[in-house]
């Protein structure tokens, strides 16, 4: 089992000792309920760094008032078992350790946070950027690992690191998928069996977009309309967005002339799922 610490001071002392012994520090921030997607990040850190720290914290400030904060799965014991032999330390703090009484300082994020998730989840990226910056200053890692599934989040964090001159590398690792293509997510466990089957439509629509681009289609609207028709056939509760955008700025693209990214957010039953895929024209 990895060492479990619950206070900022313990976490800092542990990482300071590792750094003093000459080890590079890899950090994998998570909200727990770990799956193979998370573990792929931990393995990447273990392969590149001498010491791997995983944080497990369901951050309240990135959830909206009607979102699933109370229901979000909390599975610390099984998470620790999964991390055995992979992580050197796990930091699982209490709320009061992260947000002391009177807390009132926030990271305001810029233009890359405004579209897509920024529209659907107001305040979400302010909470994400704030907790990630706090974790960075607690750990001061050499490398921090994030997954491509949360594509916009990775862009927001990378922008924050550049803008604030943070002395670390942001590593974004590929999406890990189930055999049927569904992107691994802690929220997948919310899905009823029929919903789980219908959720594969996200990957199907993204693959459809990639195929259309490979065949020479350059009109983004035609591609997103085809994706929407595919998704609607699975009877989703709601389509929050289907978009094709610049992969660095998330500005909408009308005509595909180079590398772009397709992104979507769809509600299957009560579960909101996101996914994305890089599109490469021939």
Exactly one of 35, 38, 66, 124 is catalytic; which is it?
Answer: 38
Question: Is residue 66 annotated as a catalytic residue, yes or no?
Answer: no
CB 177 within 8 A of CB 148: no
* Residue 147 bridge partners (DSSP): 173
DSSP string, 99-118: S-TT----PPP-GGGSSTHH
How far apart (Å, rounded) are the C-alpha atoms in residues 188 and 205?
18
User: String of b and e for 225-248 (b: at least 16 CB within 10 Å)?
Assistant: ebbbebbeebebeeebebbbbebe
State the Cα torsion 36-42-48-50 to the nearest 10°. Answer: -150
Kindly state the helix (H) or strand (E) to which residue 87 belongs, with its residue range. Answer: none
CB 147 within 8 A of CB 173: yes
Query: Which tokens go with 208?
Result: 């459809």
Query: Which tokens go with 179?
Result: 């055999």
Report how far apart, in Å, the C-alpha atoms of 46 and of each of 66, 70, 170, 194 are.
37, 32, 15, 37
| Count of C-beta atoms within a 10 Å radius of residue 272 | 19
What residues act catalytically?
38
């Amino acid at each position: 089992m990895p060492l479990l610490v619950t206070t900022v001071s313990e976490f800092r002392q542990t990482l300071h000792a590792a750094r003093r012994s000459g080890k590079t520090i890899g950090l994998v921030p998570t909200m727990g309920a770990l799956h193979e997607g998370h573990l792929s990040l931990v393995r990447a850190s273990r392969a590149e760094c001498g010491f791997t720290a995983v944080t497990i914290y369901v951050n309240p400030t990135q959830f909206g008032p009607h979102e699933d904060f109370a229901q979000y799965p909390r599975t610390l014991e099984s998470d620790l078992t999964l991390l055995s032999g992979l992580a050197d330390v796990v930091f699982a703090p209490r709320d009061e350790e992260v947000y002391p009484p009177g807390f009132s300082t926030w990271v305001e994020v810029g233009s890359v946070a405004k579209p897509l998730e920024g529209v659907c989840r107001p305040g979400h990226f302010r909470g994400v950027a704030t907790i990630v910056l706090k974790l960075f200053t607690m750990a001061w890692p050499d490398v921090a690992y994030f997954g491509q599934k949360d594509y916009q989040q990775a862009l927001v964090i990378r922008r924050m690191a550049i803008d604030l001159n943070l002395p670390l590398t942001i590593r974004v690792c590929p999406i890990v998928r189930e055999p049927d293509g569904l992107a691994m997510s802690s929220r997948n466990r919310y899905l009823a069996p029929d919903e789980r089957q219908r959720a594969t439509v996200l990957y199907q629509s993204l693959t459809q977009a990639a195929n259309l681009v490979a065949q020479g289609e350059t009109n983004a609207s035609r591609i997103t309309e085809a994706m929407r028709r595919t998704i609607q056939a699975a009877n989703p509760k709601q389509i929050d967005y289907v978009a094709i955008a610049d992969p660095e700025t998330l500005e909408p693209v009308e005509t595909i002339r180079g590398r772009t990214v397709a992104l979507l957010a769809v509600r299957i039953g009560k579960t909101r799922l996101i996914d994305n895929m890089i599109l490469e024209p021939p």
